[in-house]
Amino acid sequence: MTSAFKLSRRALLQGTAGLGAAALTAGLPFGQAQAKDVAIGFIYVGPRDDFGYNQAHAQGAAALKKLGGFKVLEEENVPETVAVEKTMESMINLDGAALVFPTSFGYYNPHMIKLAKKYDKVRFLHCGGLWSDKDPANAGSYFGYIDEAQYLNGIVAGYTSKTGKLGFIAAKPIPQVLRNINAFTLGARLANPNVTTQVIFTGDWSMPVKEAEATNGLINQGVDVVTCHVDSPKVIAETAEKRGIMVCGYHVDQSKLAPKGYLTGAEWNWEALYPKLAKSMQGGEKIPNLVRGGLKEGVVKTSAYGPLVEEKARKHADDIKTKLTAGSYVIFKGPIKDNKGATVIGAGTERGQTDIELEKMNYLVEGVLGAIA
């Protein structure tokens, strides 16, 4: 969706507001009477073709389009500000959206929560937030255990690295990001207990210049495998390939960007989840306020191995993947120390994927070089 169209939608919304408040009153059964298909809105913080976070969601929306029976609305490049409230209202009031997916982390509170209170007959599902019983009942959050795929990334990286120095470029030190950094490092240390992961936080989800600088800086320090948790890893993969090091992907398959050095990748599989949620709503089924899933549920997946991945690395990663898919393997099991020497998970304690404590993670594990504050 172009910027021009976004302005058009908002201009229309503003104009409509002046025609009569009744048409915009909260609680109306939006659009159901006007449209045969159920209208569902997707809002992205960046472009849909970013080879990253937004593209993964757009691929899920595309899968929903193929089903039929749904009118899929999309708007890209929407900031995590009051702008997303305007976009949601536009989709609800102009297009009759009955279900809205604001996909970026910063959309949740106060923006989505505010709109959920105002439009109590519309369903709001946010990616990555942590819904609580204090939030509106028509709001909810969904996310995936992509740390499972990052753990597998780490195993492959640990086997393949020649220097034992890995790099992780991250946006912000929030729990979801820390969980990925830690899982990647724990996986790498299965292959090589002495491996380290140097982490660099850029400060925001999409900072291409800083991400390129960070990649070059890590390479200059001897890092020979890099991965990330930013919205658009495109520049990271391209820089790694250009400088002759290896890269593990994130969000979607980036092997086209680094055909020589791409090892594997941690990918979202929203093509599986979005149609399922939409059909549940269409069928009148109750959608849980918290939806989570990993390899077992098909919410995440891994990229095909690249040419540099040796057989022993593939075999080890495949073995762990089989166990994770079966639900018989725990990544975060004690004893685990943070990178300051304190025990964060005690011996004998297992924190499985559904353990809510993992969604509050505020530390970096032993082996990670860097700080969160």
Confidence (pLDDT) at 314:
98
Q: Is the pLDDT of residue 6 over 80?
A: no
Residues 156/171, Cβ–Cβ less than 8 Å:
no
Quick one: average pLDDT of 147-155? 98
Q: Is the pLDDT of residue 149 over 50?
A: yes
pLDDT in tens, 61-108: 999 999 989 999 999 999 999 999 999 999 999 999 999 999 998 999
16 contacts: CB under 8 Å, gap ≥ 6: 23, 24, 93, 94
Q: Is the pLDDT of residue 11 over 70?
A: no
Confidence (pLDDT) at 198:
98
- Which structural domains are found in the chain, ordered by start? 38-144 (3.40.50.2300), 146-267+304-369 (3.40.50.2300)
How confident is the prediction for the chain on average, in pLDDT?
90
CA–CA separation, 172 and 316 (whole Å): 30
3-17 and 82-95 are packed helices; what angle lies between their axes, rounded to 10 degrees? 70
Among 372, 368, 358, which Cα is nearest to 188's? 368
Quick one: average pLDDT of 191-204? 97
Global pTM?
0.87
Q: Is the pLDDT of residue 260 over 60?
A: yes
pLDDT in tens, 18-74: 333 333 333 333 344 344 799 999 999 999 999 999 999 999 999 999 998 999 999
Q: Which two tokens stand for residue 323?
A: 């166990």
Q: Is the pLDDT of residue 16 over 50?
A: no
Confidence (pLDDT) at 57:
98
88-101 exposure pattern, b = at least 16 Cβ within 10 A, e = fewer: bbbbbbbbbbbbbb
Q: Is the pLDDT of residue 193 over 90?
A: yes
232 band by pLDDT with thresholds 50, 70 and 90: confident
